[in-house]
Copies of this chain bind each other. A is one copy, B any other.
């Protein structure tokens, strides 16, 4: 079967996947296949679980809220040699912009998403289940082999006090001296990193002072214009992937490189 004849439907299935094996569909996915996509037994899908690569499968059974997939063959191997994926720590935003940040961050290869509550943030709670569903959906669509973690929301101070100092924390600078983003991320290629983006109102002075005192924090500059928080978040991730991550391969073929 040619690569372009693979099914367009792609599902994250959190179960072991192997050639010939069977995986159960949960209620949401069974409903999605049957009622939204109007699919039934025999129709093909692609399945991935973040560990075993990707499989061409077909629907074996499907009823209203349950179903099973049978794996036919492996279509992509696990990406065991993938560089460490960057994390994104972000203050939740108003008006659907949080969902947009999640979608874009997943496409841009984020490994972990952490909602962070700050003093000037204007959103003080998030619906984590919804963000996790957004992240899975984006992972299914962008042909990732894994789905990023979406952590529970956490206060900035608590997050910083438990931080692993081996992971560089880039903070999008709103003022003061900072390294150009491309310089900072190029120097961190292949190392564990995270980006912290504050709320639209910015960090307050105490938060900025606390951040600057931490040895693992690097302030990065995102140019002379004032960026909205969502723009800063995915600009940082895009520049990371381009200059320090997995967009650097000489063959810029946009198809998944390990499709078999």
| Residues of chain A whose beta carbon lies under 8 Å from any beta carbon of chain B | 100, 103-104, 107-109, 141-144, 172-182, 219-228, 231, 234-235, 238-239, 241-243, 245-257
Contact = CB atoms under 8 A, between A and B. Distances in A.
B100 A222 contact: no
Contact of A246 (B176, B220, B224, B256): B224
B246 A223 contact: yes
A246 B103 CA distance: 27
A191 to B, nearest CB: 17
Contacts of A257: 224
Given A143-B224, A219-B252, A239-B243, 16 more contacts: A104-B231, A108-B227, A141-B226, A142-B226, A175-B254, A181-B242, A221-B247, A221-B249, A221-B251, A221-B253, A222-B252, A222-B254, A226-B254, A239-B239, A242-B242, A243-B243
Given A224-B257, A255-B175, A248 B182 contact: yes
Contacts of A181: 242, 247, 252
Contact of A254 (B144, B224, B251): B224
Given A177-B251, A224-B257, A242 B243 contact: yes
Contact of A253 (B108, B178, B245): B178
A228 B142 CA distance: 8
B180 A227 contact: no
Contact of A180 (B142, B219, B239, B247): B247
The A interface, classified by DSSP as helix, strand, loop or mixed, is: loop
A245 B235 CA distance: 14
Contacts of A100: 100
Closest CB pairs A-B (n = 9): A221-B252, A178-B252, A235-B238, A223-B247, A182-B242, A239-B242, A142-B225, A238-B238, A143-B226
- Among A100, A141, A252, residue most surrounded by chain B Cβ atoms (within 10 Å): A252
A177 B104 contact: no
8 contacts: A142-B226, A142-B227, A143-B224, A173-B254, A179-B252, A182-B182, A182-B242, A239-B239
